[in-house]
Amino acid sequence: MGILAGQVALVTGAGRGFGRAIAERLAAEGAAVAVVSRSIGEVSAVADAIRAAGHAAMAATCDVTSPADIAVVVAQVEGELGLIDLLVSNAGVPGPFGPLWQVNPEEWWQAQEVHIRAPFLLMHRILPGMVSRGRGRVVCVSAKAARIVAPHLSAYCTGKIAQNRLVAEAAAELAGTGVSAFAIDPGFVPTRLARDTMEDPAAQQYLGGMVERLKERFDDPEAQGDLARCAQRVLDLASGQYDELSGGYYELPDDLEAALLAKREEGPVAVGH
């Protein structure tokens, strides 16, 4: 019996990389996990691996920018596994890369659809049930790009800082409901997303330094370690012991115990009107 026994988790972007690591860690702690992505082949393999390890899982395809798709997949999950206790919004795209006056406007906006519209739609569909039951947690996988200005990476940086604010707004509105929301940086691992960035001609042209760092990480035997650390961070937040930190954005080096202590020492903060 794991610490998430009896709970149901929905993880998007779960076919590989961080999403897969998170899904497998949650399942190992007893959660029944729905793994979702646009590719049924990838998530089917993840679900098969989870079931082979003796845990409950299902796979489904979903365009997380589509309200209709989300409604269908949530109904599938609730019908097969049960009501959703934990949402992990992990889907993301790295580009487009280049000066904002040169990138394709449609591609730039499509990135915001994934970074902002998708977590909003997922929360819009799933939070009502959580609130009515008085329990639930949401974790959005953000990035350090949320707090930096990175020339030629405007779509990603803008999407991630907006994602963090969406989480903060949701948490403020969820106060007192028993439902919490968090944003995290997953760490730095040479995933498929990183490889796609490395191989993108525009990234090579405008983000040469970042591309070189990614290449170095592909040759680093320790580079996969953040997968486990990210999965553990999601599990820690899913456990409920850090619900008082709802609304925050946390990176892997952040000490959640210290953050919790500081939060308690601050006491309640008055909200102005």
Model pLDDT for residues 27-83, shown as the tens digit of each residue = 999 999 999 998 899 999 999 999 999 999 999 999 999 999 999 999 999 999 999
For helices 105-112 and 154-174, what crossing angle results, to 10°?
30
Is 215 among the residues known to form the active site? no
* pLDDT given for residue 44 in this prediction: 96
Provide mean pLDDT across the span 139-144: 96
Where do the domains of the chain lie?
8-187+224-253
Q: What angle do CA 45, 54, 27 make, to 5 degrees?
A: 70
Among residues 37, 89, 142, 154, which one is catalytic?
142
Told to judge if 239 belongs to the known catalytic residues of this protein, a careful annotator would answer no
Q: What stretch of H or E contains 12?
A: strand 8-12
What average pLDDT does range 167-185 have in this prediction?
98
Strand order from edge to edge, sheet including 86-89: 57-61, 32-37, 8-12, 86-89, 136-141, 179-184, 249-250
Q: Is the predicted pLDDT of residue 211 greater than 50, yes or no?
A: yes
- Rounded to two decimals, the pTM is 0.91
Tokens of 170: 């949701």
Catalytic annotation, pick one of 37, 160, 242, 250: 160
Catalytic residue among 37, 44, 154, 156: 156
Hey, what CATH class is 8-187+224-253 in?
alpha beta
